[in-house]
A and B are shown apart, each in its own frame.
Chain A
Amino acid sequence: MSTALHRLELPDRTTDADILAQVKRSLREAEQATALVISGSFAGEVTDAKAHSDMIGLLLDAPLPVFALPSGPIGSRGLALLLAADRTVLGPEAKTGGDWRTSPGLAPLLRHRLGSTLTGAIIFDPSADLLARVVDYGLAVRVSNPDAHVEEIAAILGDGIGRRLKRALKASGELPLKEAIGFDLWFAKPQPMSAP
């Protein structure tokens, strides 16, 4: 399997429906990729709740790791995208704009990623800087060169390792622990010599 990254660059001034269509297409095209990297403009507010929700669902169900590399201001739409990604790599210019607490999907995504205690510690703290907190809690890293950092991560995820880990992560979020371990163990079992 290739170690190539599949890249999706989000343009300025786009719609929720456009982003949904681009994410769909990218996931189709990334069939052989190690990971999907979404970069570009994360600005903008949610205007089409259905398309936004479908986009989040696609990212959460993606069969390969998804990395978010926002640059510049991050709007309510981009915030959900960032939290639905498996790893967020923030450049020096990335910052939230507006009232991030009103971002659709924020609370459930934070809860999904961090648990209820840390989510409460963020959303109920009047002085919380969201991006600083997600870095502190390990959801994101802030680096001077996001592209180089993503290449470094991708280098350890080749030969299907990233996809395997992503699927096992998904299983662990969806199944009871022992079933999730059972799911992951299938990857370690030798393949049969022949299948009908």
Chain B
Amino acid sequence: MTSNEPSFVKAERRGTVMLLVIDRPAARNALNPAILTKIAEELTAADRDPAIHAVALTGGPKNFSAGADIDTLSGHSPASYLASPTRRAFESIYGTSKPIVAGVAGFCLGGGCELALSCDLIVAGDNAVFGQPEINLGIIPGAGGTQLWRERTGAGPQVEAALLGHLVDAWTARRMGLADEIVPAERIIEATLDKALAIASKAPLASRTAKAALRGAGAMNLHAALAHEVGLMAGLLGTEDAQEGTRAFLEKRRPRYQGR
């Protein structure tokens, strides 16, 4: 990405939340390398910034993202795809350690859907449409779209999405566990921010650690994940935040977490 190329991503601090808005309405927020790289950069910066406790990622009330730019996909050879900024950006986004809330309205397709599923919670507008239509282009979802539905929806919807490219509306998405809350689409930014701010109000080290423990479920077997959880919990007990949380509970007041 060159410095004068528009990134189509707006980044704004809202208290202890980093709000990222994909803003490419003329292309229904289609993802290009510049957008994905910018999101990845902002998330990396948020991870390093102790003043940011959570992230809200949305495309606004019209569309989350209609997918990757087709020319971005078609221009790759097998070797160049594996080394591409797009693939690296997805990896980086999925690897973000702070909690991310996705605010999904309108189209959330292909790479857009994979981006939403890389987040920890999904708030959906009532106009949201989820799907992995890659099979209709002679390819497959290549950034998590054959894997990330399953832990939310179970195997059936994952297979339907990957093999048939079926689209799923907001209500069905809620019923199958793909979305965690449905709100009027025009309020998607506020609703996403509200959820992120609620997470950000908790002890930041605990939130980050809880995310690490949750991600363990997909990365290791149950026995290992439980052991991993115990280790993470033990590590938290030595923090000032853990002591403050307990003290505030006993003193019947709101805790004041410092992230230490």
Contacts and interface: CB of A to CB of B under 8 A. Distances in A.
B126 A171 contact: yes
* A interface bracket (residues with beta carbon within 8 Å of B): 10 to 19
Contacts of B260: none
Interface in B183-224: 183-184, 187, 189-191
B189 A186 contact: no
A175 B174 contact: yes
A179 B126 CA distance: 13
Interface in B114-172: 126-127, 169, 171
Contacts of A100: none
Chain B interface helix/strand/loop/mixed: mixed
B21 interface: yes
Contacts of B181: 179, 182
B182 A179 contact: yes
Contacts of A174: 171, 174-175, 182
B57 interface: no
A192 B126 contact: no
A171 B182 contact: yes
A170 B21 contact: no
B180 to A, nearest CB: 10
Interface residues of B, number: 19
B12 interface: yes
A175 B169 CA distance: 13
Nearest to B61: A195
B190 A192 contact: yes
B62 interface: no
B21 A186 contact: no
Given A61-B169, A189-B187, A195-B189, A175 B182 contact: yes
Most buried by A among B60, B184, B187, B189: B184
B174 A186 contact: no
B28 interface: no
A187 B183 CA distance: 9
B193 to A, nearest CB: 9
Contacts of A192: 190
Contacts of A186: 183-184, 187, 191
B184 A183 contact: yes
Interface string A169-196: 0110011000100110011010010011
- List of 7 A-B pairs having minimum Cβ-Cβ separation, nearest first: A174-B171, A186-B187, A186-B184, A196-B21, A196-B12, A196-B10, A186-B183
